[in-house]
Amino acid sequence: MAIELVPLPLPASADASKFADFGREVKGVDPGNLTDDDFKKIHDGLYKHGILLFRNANMTPEQQYLLTKKFDPQSESYGHGNNKTGETKKSILHPDLKTIPSVPQVQLIGNGTVYDHWGLAEAKLKHPSHTTFHKTVVSPEDNDKGVTRFYRWHIDAALYDLNPPRVTTLYGLTVPQGPTQVCRYDDGTGDELPVPLGTTAFVSGKTMFDILPKEYKSLAVRTKVKYAPHPYVWMAPAKAMSTGLGIESEGLELPLDELPPWEEAKIKLFPVLWKNPVTGNLHFQVHPCGAQELHIAPLPSGASLEGALYPNGAKITDLEEVRKILYKMQRPAIAPSLVYPHDWKENDFVLFHNRGVLHTVVGAFKPDQVRAFHQCNLAASDEPVGPSEEDVDAWA
């Protein structure tokens, strides 16, 4: 049977015109046993469509790791370092991940207690909840009615020392079913989104760039983001915005001299826009929670100054201003009509282009609802490629 890529079913909330090339279900192939020709089609399909879904997959942790590695054969360690997630107890990632002992590049995530699982005698899992991370939370009454929020919009990346993975793979082993929840933005817009229980929500970094007005396209193509050292420890005392799209500026971040030892040379400075290696498209790829500074290049010679933002370039170090600029650029792309909330079924295997989409955990489970997923991403052997000179000339 030939490999077939068919469009993902979109929720009624989605603007289908913005999802024409986004997301595909792959039929006719076993993701755990791909030939070289099969993989070439999967590789190119992923970069073209951002997300690939395989239904009824049967993947061992080893198979998941090996497939993830095929996208970057020189990569080896988990995106945050093998067995590193538990070393820094202050990190906001610490409670969410359990390493599979035999394949340390694969993490067990989910909710509830899992027994005798691939070398783990007992694993107590906790689904991330906005109630521990956001400045404000939904009321207990609304929570009981199924009201929830996006947890944290992000890219899978250490954002310090290690390079952002090219792809992430997620495998749903135990998927509790329940009533639809309502994801509320609570930002004064009235926006809300019906979501399946425990969905992973995705937005396209390409769309995030494409829908920007001209002056912000010009700003994006000229800007780089400097991330904080050990950003997940740095941000841990702070609280997030109600949309999950960045941190409230209250001065609660851990002072740099209280972080684990860090080196200036390992701090990451990445372009705002990352270039797709297959399509050449530009994707707006910023993890807003870890951003510390914006470095803006001046307009190229001959570019129009009309309406231009920071035409002479700038280095913005005021954290509140950094966050306001990024929020203004990223918030339009998480509008309900632009979000794909995946409705997980058991044995769903999802690959996503981690350098081309942003995603977030959504929803809340009760303590006795068991959910078990395997996640794998590998710190890349290279840094993301930013806009070319031709891109800058075209968009600045």
The pTM (predicted TM-score) of the whole model is 0.96
- Tokens representing 14 are 């989605």
Asked if residues 148 and 255 have their Cβ atoms less than 8 Å apart, the reply is no
What's the average model confidence in pLDDT over 178-196?
97
Residue 360 and residue 319: Cα distance in Å, rounded? 23
Amino acid identity, position 63 = Q
Output the pLDDT for position 125. 94
Domains and CATH numbers, the chain: 4-206+337-377 (3.60.130), 209-331+391-395 (no CATH)
For the residues of 158-196, what is the DSSP string, one character each?
--BSSBPPSEEEEEEEE------EEEE--SSS--EEEE-
Output the pLDDT for position 94. 54
Indicate the range of 214-223, 288-297, 358-367, 374-383 predicted with least confidence. 358-367
Residue 34 reports pLDDT greater than 90: yes
Neighbours of 69 (CB within 10 A): 16
Residue 95: how many CA atoms within 13 Å on its side-chain side?
12
Residue 256 and residue 230: Cα distance in Å, rounded? 9
- Tokens representing 104 are 């340390």
Residue 95 reports pLDDT greater than 90: no
Output the pLDDT for position 298. 97
Q: Give me the torsion for CA of 288, 294, 295, 298, rounded to 10°.
A: 100
Residue 362 DSSP one-character state: B
Output the pLDDT for position 304. 87
Output the pLDDT for position 261. 96
Amino acid identity, position 242 = S
Burial 150-180, CB ≥16 within 10 A → b, else e: bbbbbbbbbbbbbbbbbbbbbbbbbbbeeee
Q: Report which secondary-structure segment, H or E, holds 44.
A: helix 36-49
How does pLDDT run across 250-306, given as a tens digit for each residue? Answer: 999 999 999 999 999 999 999 999 999 999 999 999 999 999 999 999 999 988 888
SS3 395: helix
What's the average model confidence in pLDDT over 4-23?
96
Asked if residues 92 and 238 have their Cβ atoms less than 8 Å apart, the reply is no
Q: In Å, what is the CA distance from 39 to each residue of 60, 70, 75, 172, 246?
A: 18, 8, 17, 21, 36
Q: What percent of the chain has pLDDT over 90?
A: 90
Residue 307 and residue 328: Cα distance in Å, rounded? 16
Of 213, 199, 153, 156, residue with least CA distance to 335: 153
Residue 278 and residue 203: Cα distance in Å, rounded? 19
Residue 178 and residue 134: Cα distance in Å, rounded? 24
Measured N-to-C along each axis, helices 214-221 and 319-330 cross at an angle, to the nearest 10 degrees, of 120
How does pLDDT run across 135-156, given as a tens digit for each residue? Answer: 999 999 999 999 999 999 999 9
- With cut-offs at 50, 70 and 90, classify the pLDDT of residue 181: very high
Amino acid identity, position 251 = G
Residue 335 DSSP one-character state: S
Residue 87 reports pLDDT greater than 50: no
- With cut-offs at 50, 70 and 90, classify the pLDDT of residue 86: very low
Tell me the β-bridge partners of 111: 371
- With cut-offs at 50, 70 and 90, classify the pLDDT of residue 1: low
Residue 220 and residue 387: Cα distance in Å, rounded? 10
